[in-house]
Structure 1
């Protein structure tokens, strides 16, 4: 084995380790998804409050992205990643100590701060730690770690809550143990950012999209908004629909249904590498549209198999569009603004995961869960189909 081969193997191990840290951090953000029904029984609150608790997390993500989206460009990737892992552990502690809504809100807010820091910094770290050459594998590792982590959270919590003791405690204890491992791994990773001297002041930058990235950012951002709306529906509202409409109370099944969305997203991201950005971005939007149509049909027919089919199709389309979008935006952004640009991309995505879901929760008061879901599905269908048609007529420049 040559020195070059050994160095390439080490580089591959480093970016995969960073992707693992990313996945562990993101898993904590969806860990409570199958547990909301238990919290509702224990504390007593409505479906609207479930979406509000969920939205607090998304608001935390957006606040962190807007306030600290470029901090990893200035301080380095590793300090920001370590801070995000500490915040995730504090979130788990809030859930362990939970005795009412205030600590649920605090836990979700801290989880949102953690995810906001992770989204830009971890994505950039994975891309930068990859060995030289085509960045397709690194881009897939970053986006798959994001979606895979989000999917593993509900699956882990659902299985533990259904088949192990302490359903509202054990999932968070297991996650804290995983965070400790991730913290140690992060400390061992090399820093990829060369610090500037003197260091620019740390100031909230807001939405930072360099001029050269804007043409790629707008359609990719709209596609991400639509795709993350689907994710928000399944992580916040689908557990309630399964329990109330389909009479499915098995928490492991709930976790598996939510996991199927993110698993399909990862599969879509894998296919994007073969299709390329120009074809994958519009195709992803149109497949997402078909998935949302199936979700609407499942609401009308009260069918679990159709709901799962919609979850898989929608997740697959979201994965295609998400990886194509982040690849296009990352390629268009200058090196010194890549972390901030990726953070801005995630701001748009997390606006999609929060605002529509709260709307669904509010509509349930007047229309019920099924009616609110149908209105939501119709809106996402119109948005994703419109973006898909636009991109067919004006495809991205990135190949």
Structure 2
């Protein structure tokens, strides 16, 4: 663990405060999820356009992780996180002054830049601020903040859109206030990188994997890809499926169901702490497979109960896989390469979440939403089986 540049002890609650900042940023990235149907009604675009808007976000995340994934190892965690909060605020302003698809895409681009800067850096920051002996709790706090924030976004916007005025305005105003508070919290926290050089030292450089991480990275990356792929299928299919097939138009309920997936992920992460990465990763793949089967059954049978059950089971499997993966990579990485190594893991994960969303959107035009969802569920199930078998044959090394 690196020394604190500020010379001040981080304190027992510092890593929890940093986790809160992490959650606020990630909530902004999923805030529009229950609102796309309103944008479709207002602007008259198709499900394919929703896919394009998401693709802009996903490619921005991956691009930032590839180009700047390890920059905070040099310039410090706080400057990078402050820049991420700045992009989150710009994203909210783009949605507030929305005037068509180009501005929606710009808002998602800003959101992707924010998530890309935060994902690896904030995870490393939370781990480094934890007092000695609380590394396990910090790993849970970091991954729970990531998934919890992603789940909070749809819940917040869904409730406000359903029960408050100005559904396309108020959610983003509320998030701007949250970002302002998070900025104040972050400014009060210490830097965790010894000898941090500030943003002037930032250079475009792809994240690198030190030799210590390479043996852990492949199995962790395979499990992360499979887990995020399920999230991709679920978030791509469920909101439109609820509205178009099950005639569920209550946006608070839609947001709650998406939130349930991420809440279950947090529960899976909690369970992973007692299992250890070696057991959590293959078990997570097995649970993911059950979740995918339930989601396919929900689409074919058109049953809301199965959809909710698939959210809970699939989310749990994703949480098992995610915490096991992040914990294994973070433990193996030297302090000076920690953010870059974690960012590399999330490049793999966000590739997994992107492919299903884009694929479902493209296929939904010629074959329909349900059939497109089933096609990708089958593909993701095969991938999950491969991941599970791979992890059984080549488990994460014990540390």
Match of 1:4 in 2: none
Q: Structure 1 residues 313, 72: closer, same or farther in 2, change over 3 A?
A: same
TM-score by length of 2: 0.95
Map residues 100-179 of structure 1 onto 2, 5 A cutoff: 100-179=100-179
Q: What CA distance in whole angstroms lies between the structure 2 residues aligned with 1:212 and 1:142? A: 22
Match of 2:251 in 1: 251
3-state SS of paired residue (1:11): coil
3-state SS of paired residue (1:192): coil
Paired residues of 1:70 and 1:340 also in contact (CA < 8 A): yes
Map residues 259-274 of structure 1 onto 2, 5 A cutoff: 259-274=259-274
Pair 1:279-2:286 in alignment: no
Map residues 221-240 of structure 1 onto 2, 5 A cutoff: 221-240=221-240
Paired residues of 2:287 and 2:313 also in contact (CA < 8 A): yes
Q: What CA distance in whole angstroms lies between the structure 2 residues aligned with 1:148 and 1:197? A: 31
Match of 2:362 in 1: 362
Q: Structure 1 residues 243, 198: closer, same or farther in 2, change over 3 A?
A: closer
Paired residues of 2:57 and 2:109 also in contact (CA < 8 A): yes
Calculate the aligned-residue CA RMSD, in Å. Answer: 1.7
Match of 1:329 in 2: 329
3-state SS of paired residue (2:80): helix
Map residues 1-399 of structure 1 onto 2, 5 A cutoff: 11-195=11-195, 202-398=202-398
Q: Give per-residue Cα distances to partners, 1:285-330, cap 9 Å, x unaligned.
A: 1100110010001010001110111111110000000000010111
Paired residues of 2:87 and 2:110 also in contact (CA < 8 A): yes
1:141: how far off? 0.2
1:50: how far off? 1.0
Q: What CA distance in whole angstroms lies between the structure 2 residues aligned with 1:44 and 1:336? A: 49
Q: What CA distance in whole angstroms lies between the structure 1 residues aligned with 2:188 and 2:200? A: 26
3-state SS of paired residue (2:11): helix
1:199: how far off? 10
Q: Give per-residue Cα distances to partners, 1:130-186, cap 9 Å, x unaligned.
A: 001251100000000000000000000000000000000000000000000000000
Paired residues of 2:147 and 2:265 also in contact (CA < 8 A): yes
1:205: how far off? 1.9
Paired residues of 1:30 and 1:235 also in contact (CA < 8 A): no
1:197: how far off? 7.5
TM-score by length of 1: 0.95
3-state SS of paired residue (1:340): helix
3-state SS of paired residue (1:12): coil
Greater mean alpha carbon deviation, residues 93-102 or residues 52-61: 52-61
Paired residues of 2:278 and 2:395 also in contact (CA < 8 A): yes
1:228: how far off? 1.1
Paired residues of 2:72 and 2:339 also in contact (CA < 8 A): yes
3-state SS of paired residue (1:159): helix
Greater mean alpha carbon deviation, residues 326-335 or residues 202-211: 202-211
1:227: how far off? 1.1
1:44: how far off? 1.1
Q: Give per-residue Cα distances to partners, 1:377-396, cap 9 Å, x unaligned.
A: 01111111211122123221
